[in-house]
Amino acid sequence: MISVDFVKEKIKKITSKEVIYYIFPVFLIAILYYSFLPLNQVYIGEWHDIFANSLYYTLVDNHYLATWNNLWSGGFPLTANPHSDKYYVFSFPFYLIFQNLTIVNFILLFHLLIAYFAFFKLGSLITKNYNALLIFSIFFAFSGALLARICVGHHLLLYGLVWIPLLYYFFFKIVVFDECTILNSVFLSIVSALIYFTGNVYHFILAYLIIFVFFLYYAINGKISRKILYLLVLSVFLTTLLISMKGIPDLGVSGSIIRIDPIDPLEGGGSIENDLSSFITGTRIDTLWGQWESGVMIGIIPFLLMIIALVYGRKDITIPSFIAILLSFIWAAGGKTVLFFLHFFPIVSSFRNPGRIFGALLPIVLFLALYGTVLVYEKYRKGDDFAVSSDQKRLVIIGLALLIVVKLLELPFQEMITADAALSVLLTGAFVALLYFQKGSMKNILIFFIAALLINCISIIQLHSFPQNELLVKLVLVGILFAGFCFFIMKNRQNDRNIQIFCGILLAGLFLMFMGNLGSGYVTVYSPQLEKSLAPKIIEEISKRPSDNAQLWVFETGWPIKHMEFTYWDVISGIHPMTLYTAYFLKTTPQLSYGIGNDTYFSADYIIDTQYLENGNQNIPEYTFKVGNISVYKPEHVLPNIFFIRDNQVYPLAIEKFSPDEVIASGELLQGDIVILKGAYYPGWKANGADAESIGNMIGTKLPSGTKRVRFYFDPLDYKIGAFLSGCGIIFVIALIIKRREIETYLSKLSEPIASYNTKKKKKDRFN
């Protein structure tokens, strides 16, 4: 147990000067997002996607522990959805506590803080200097790659992205820095599980693809000892156990769902020059997907510092990093490379938007940029110029040759090069030439940085426009905050003038990043104006009309994404919307109408002509009543929530209990009667203890004998197996932590040391 005295001692060690590094990101968040503070249905981020990904799990008729959702697109298993954060401890519990979807605003901003401190931890592998760590942690947390996800409402992707630096941190601790401890292996597993539980399967896989590059490089070079291998295998095993509660049902549902928009994994690729511009100017790599899918926007300064690290850094860090960058560029090309077949490998074949890999790559790029910053100071402290040795020249030539090969593979698909892409290539190439031809004096480096910064500034203003009005005020406040931090550095550090200029360039690069992101409109507050919707009035009118159904179903004719406010009001009113904006729905979603006997029965109790709001026409042949010229039709024959069919006639049953995953009804039922629960069929539904079957896509059973009572309940086996394995994983983690000393002693006897690393050598801080 951690004692109170231990905690107090740790707090005492945090000096007043150090506090600024912990609260600085809070000031930035307050500046950028003060506009959202009125919490009356105001959202940070595009609200349609937020509703589609969160409404599903937050307003399920107050049955938060249910395993089935009977309010969503015909019904859907709550236990199985690849894109859900139901088991993510830093989002879903907040919904349960506050029971207000607006809490997503605080969750999003909290994750920006997680991103900041996660990269702070990753960067600590390179330096302990808080000034450098603060600067590059801000580069990560407030990059276009993250702010764009908030802006467009892709909060599940954001949740996963912010943890990736910690994933790399624990992997590097074990493999690169040879700190082979049980705790590092356990924490690697926990972080992996957290990323998976966010529902961000994309970056879970893509981040591990980058990790695999590093692992393969070290394995080929004989730098993976048995101890390292055992700990990595242990981490994979633990991760598999921990995520089983979600992973096994996710795999089970994969064959039963339909994507609302078909996926072509090759669509939206870009060329190398576009990849460079996505980092330097924040532009997207293709013309299909929006800027938020591939525009990273960190500016030219981190990119140049990354090049310094690649040329002058430790080979065991820089070579696999460069290979990871190459692989990311190949992946981002999508179908615009001869190597397009990579996108058809198992699992990743269901991925779209090839540019999303840059989210997984970004921490590596900034890690190298921080490394480059350390090298700049180290060179200056020793009075050395950036001379390139023959070995370094050879590696530069090899690196350029590999880039050329990758480019040649893209040439059959080459498109017109844009001005920002050409500029990015010229700046990058010129800097590499400056170093290669031995012109890398400190003075020349600083001059090049300043010139590149000015050119980058002009290009960003032209591409994204200069922030106006309220955004301009925010930019000025950010600038004042950076200026104050610069003064803080100068006051507390007696550095040489060149180093002070260099620090100023870093802060100017940060300011440029904020200018580009504000100019791109990434910091925006959205209001769905739910109170202006006609949905509440329509629901009020519907509620006045008698119905024997415990739950009403409605079919809305309009394009669901344009009428998400109807979905919101339907769900919170306990009404089941048959059409809505969602990524996936079951193949067995019930039809709108069924022919039974001589009659046509509708699944929906009401058909609402929301399409009128799009075209101004009467889009249904007849109507029962109108609200604001929106026609509402009540069919003559509507399927009850639970009913039986006898002699091609529909008979309702009396409902005794109606909940999302359990419905009990009674009636005079005979052998051979077909009893049906209105809802999408999915394996796991039971009827009186036996497996239900799909009848007209709905949940049904043919009674083997007469009965007066029937009980349908959802009891998925894959969820129980997954929950059991996840429980075993938690127990295993606790046992490993308790017995870690004994296990590490045992592993040390089995493992051979890594000769290429001197783990006892004290790593000094090389950035002042």
pLDDT of 286 above 50: yes
**pLDDT tens digits along 310-354:** 999 999 999 999 999 999 999 999 999 999 999 999 889 989 899
Burial of 562 (0-12, 13-18, 19+ CB in 10 A): middle
Farthest CA pair distance, the chain: 95
Q: Residue 5's pLDDT band (boundaries 50, 70, 90)?
A: low
d(CA 96, CA 74): 24
Residue 398, domain extent: 46-438
pLDDT recorded at residue 37: 64
Write down the mean pLDDT value for the chain. Answer: 90
**pLDDT tens digits along 6-43:** 445 554 555 556 788 899 999 999 999 987 665 567 89
746: in domain: no
Q: Are 50 and 153 in contact (CB under 8 A)?
A: yes
Kindly state the DSSP code that residue 350 receives in the 8-state scheme: G
Q: How many CB atoms lie within 10 A of CB 121?
A: 17
pLDDT recorded at residue 7: 47
739: in domain: no
d(CA 264, CA 205): 18
329: in domain: yes
d(CA 641, CA 664): 11
Q: Are 516 and 142 in contact (CB under 8 A)?
A: no
The pLDDT of 72-93, averaged and rounded, is: 90
**pLDDT tens digits along 607-657:** 999 999 999 999 998 999 999 999 999 999 999 999 999 999 999 999 999
Q: Residue 234's pLDDT band (boundaries 50, 70, 90)?
A: very high
d(CA 596, CA 584): 29
Q: Residue 389's pLDDT band (boundaries 50, 70, 90)?
A: very high
Kindly state the DSSP code that residue 103 receives in the 8-state scheme: G
Kindly state the DSSP code that residue 268 receives in the 8-state scheme: T
d(CA 406, CA 400): 10
Q: For the chain, how many structural domains are there in total?
A: 1
pLDDT recorded at residue 755: 42
550: in domain: no
Q: Residue 260's pLDDT band (boundaries 50, 70, 90)?
A: confident
Q: How far is CA 740 from CA 181, 188, 239, 242, in A?
A: 8, 15, 17, 19
**pLDDT tens digits along 524-572:** 888 898 989 999 999 999 999 988 899 999 999 999 999 999 999 998 8
Q: Which of 255, 361, 264 is nearest to 306 (CA)?
A: 361
% of the chain surpassing 90 pLDDT: 73
Q: What are phi and psi of 295, to 5 degrees?
A: -75, 110
| Strand stretches in 520-586, DSSP E | 525-526, 553-556, 576-577, 584-586
Q: Are 630 and 613 in contact (CB under 8 A)?
A: yes
Among 2-6, 39-43, 362-366, 697-701, where is mean pLDDT lowest?
Answer: 2-6
Q: How far is CA 668 from CA 184, 675, 707, in A?
A: 62, 12, 7
**pLDDT tens digits along 680-691:** 999 999 999 999
d(CA 242, CA 732): 10
110: in domain: yes
pLDDT recorded at residue 495: 63
Amino acid 62 reads N
pLDDT of 763 above 60: no
Distance of CA 141 to the CA centre of its chain: 13
Q: Residue 127's pLDDT band (boundaries 50, 70, 90)?
A: very high
588: in domain: no
d(CA 677, CA 294): 44
352: in domain: yes
The pLDDT of 353-366, averaged and rounded, is: 97
Q: E strand or H helix at 138, and its extent?
A: helix 130-141
